[in-house]
Structure 1
């Protein structure tokens, strides 16, 4: 076990030395890999921020339950009991007097409201479901509409469906981009390892003559590809973080103008580790394919 570990540590050290031996080429390769991983990573993070914004803004997933004008306190209490028993989310009761005050506070509405003989607004419940799935929202709306003294249930289900469809489309586009750029990363590593093999052709031939095994020759090249991919993933994380840091003040200002305290979510430590792992895995795959393809000439 100690011998096996020593061989892998020696191969890892050799791969690091090869990376440091040509710093300019290494930096350029890392930047290319970083850019290839940045686009799908930034898109995924943008989608996560959209989901967070939707979750923090209950207005896009609220159901308004308007009662009949003749609803009494007993009817209101019964609906509260039904909502409590449903255990599907939170709700807030809006009395007709409170709704009238809010309407009077709107610009240009005070004189119109004052001219009315009585309050035309009904009592209402504003229900915020725990699930934002369109099917769940529609089922809840249909259920609420059957309750006694409920005159109207308002749910913009078409908007919810459009939003869900856009998010699904965004995920599909990100998946396609991820596959495309993963192939690009494998190709970059493939060519880099190919150049390494050609540059060290004499060294590889000598190693074979003195009895070096295929595993011994291939191991540093595998680690080289893995390290290059992992460092490229870290470079992508840095680029995404810098980009979101530049966007955060503008997004926060826009959110403030709309009365929201939304702040953009950046990459977490686990996200950075995942990017490095993905880059390392793809780099190892590219190195593996390149080694199997080009080392045959030395057989």
Structure 2
């Protein structure tokens, strides 16, 4: 086991030395790989932000439950118990007095509300289920509407279905883009490693003559491809972060104009690590294809 670890550590060091020996070529390769990974990764980040924006919009993915006029406290408590048991998510009770105060604060409504003989607004619950899919929201709406004392349940199901269809289409488009750029990244790594193999062809031939195995010869190139892919993934994460930083202030200012506190979300550390891992896997694949072809040609 120790011998195996030493061999892989030595191969990893040789790969690092090869990358460091040609800094300009390495930098250009990382830039190409980073840009190739930035486009699909930025697409996923954009879709996540659009989804978060849709959730933060007023009334989106929320169910408004209105009780019957004159509902007593017992009915309110029983409805609260039902929500606790049936709804995996959050809900908020809006008493009729609070709703009337909000209506009074609306522009031009204070005098109209003051002329009313009594409060016409019902008690209500604002429900935000954890599962925001159209099917789950529609099922929950039908369930809640059948509860005793519930006068009306409001859900903009048509808008939610359109929004969900848009997100699905966006994910499909980004997935296709990611597949295309994955092939491109593998091709870039293939070509880069092939040039390294050709540049060291004499060294490889001598190593084979003195007994070096193919696994020993291949291993540094595999690590070189994986390192380039992983560093390219980190470069893509850096480019995305820079882009989001440039857009953060204009987006926040625009959201403020619409009365929202929405802010852009970047790549969390787990997704950044996943991006680097995908880059390493594609780089390893490109290196494996390239070295296998080159050694077969040497034979």
Assess same fold via TM > 0.5: yes
Judged with a 3 Å threshold, the aligned counterparts in structure 2 of structure 1 residues 16 and 89 are, in CA distance, closer, same or farther, namely closer
Q: Is 1:101 aligned to 2:101, yes or no?
A: yes
Q: CA deviation at 1:212?
A: 2.4
Worse-matched range after superposition: 16-25 or 186-195: 16-25
Equivalent in the alignment of 1:155: 155
Q: Which runs of 5+ in 1 are unaligned?
A: none
Aligned-CA RMSD value: 2.4
State yes or no: 1:37 paired with 2:53.
no
Match of 2:290 in 1: 290
**Aligned pairs, number:** 299
Flag the 1:181–1:93 CA change in 2: closer, same or farther, 3 A.
same
Question: Aligned partners of 1:14 and 1:37: how far apart in 2?
Answer: 26
Does the aligned pair in 2 maintain the 1:44–1:174 contact within 8 Å? yes
Q: 1:78 to 1:226 in 2, by over 3 A?
A: closer
* Counterpart contact for 1:100–1:119, Cα < 8 Å: yes
Matched, 1:190 2:190: yes
Output the CA distance in 2 between the equivalents of 1:192 and 1:122: 69
Q: CA deviation at 1:152?
A: 1.7
> Counterpart of 1:62?
62
Distance 1:175 1:214 in 2: 36
Alignment CA distance shift 1:238-1:76 (3 Å): closer
Kindly state the Cα deviation for residue 265 of structure 1 after the two structures are TM-superposed: 2.4
1:199-278 matches, within 5 Å, as: 199-278=199-278
Mapping 1:125-136, distance limit 5 Å: 125-136=125-136
How far apart, CA to CA, are the structure 2 residues paired with 1:277 and 1:81? 46
How far apart are the structure 2 equivalents of 1:14 and 1:207? 15
Higher mean displacement: 18-27 or 281-290: 18-27
Q: TM-score, normalised by structure 1?
A: 0.88
2:87–2:129 CA contact under 8 A, matched in 1: no
Report the Cα offset of residue 70 of structure 1. 4.9
Deviation digits for residues 41-81 of structure 1 (CA, Å, limit 9, x no counterpart): 11222223334444555731221222333544454444344
Give yes or no for contact 1:191–1:290 (8 Å, CA) kept in 2.
yes
TM-score (norm 2): 0.88
Unaligned runs of 5+ in 2: none
Give the secondary-structure state (helix, strand or coil) at the position aligned to 1:176: helix
